[in-house]
Amino acid sequence: MEHEVRTARGGDLAGLAEIENSGDAMFGEIGIVFPPGPTVAEQMIGRGAEIVVAGDPPVGFAAVEEVDGAAHLEQISVRGDLVGRGIGVLLLDEVKARAAAAGRSGVSLLTFRDVPWNGPWYARHGFAELPRERWGPGIRSYWDAEIEAGLHELGPRIVMWAPLRPSN
């Protein structure tokens, strides 16, 4: 099944929270229940983040912002019934390609260290844990906001980084 990855259009945005919620059900199966509040998709749309989607209508999305001069992947989410079919990889590859084309030195993210489709998955796709002494002020701010929101109480979190070679 091939899914075109593209910039989200206005009509795509309303359905992104539903995609995120369906994907988040996997976390509930391992005992991670996210606190109530707006979805990451809703927050990112409100902040004007770059949103790329897979499919038409979308079956997955990635939300990216600039943090500390690099691309910061805030969220990849795939519709729960389509997880494991390579859609997340398509989205991640697009995020990296766009960041490289923009001259970014890498992509950062915060994720659960031990959840198989989080830290270990990103490690298989070129990310490694970013040592605390290399965090910029933006990443520190994200980390602190996660602690305040209670996310770190749900499981160990890490900052990860994938270096990029700028494309010409």
For residue 167, the model assigns a pLDDT of 64
Q: What is the CATH number of domain 5-163?
A: 3.40.630.30
10-residue stretch averages of pLDDT, the chain, 168 residues long: 88 93 88 84 87 96 96 95 94 97 96 96 98 97 95 96 82
For residue 2, the model assigns a pLDDT of 75
Helix then strand then coil, in percent of the chain rounded to 5, is 45, 25, 35
Residue extents of the structural domains in the chain: 5-163
For residue 75, the model assigns a pLDDT of 93
From CA 11, how far away is CA 93, in angstroms rounded? 23
Phi, psi for residue 98 in degrees, rounded to 5: -65, -40
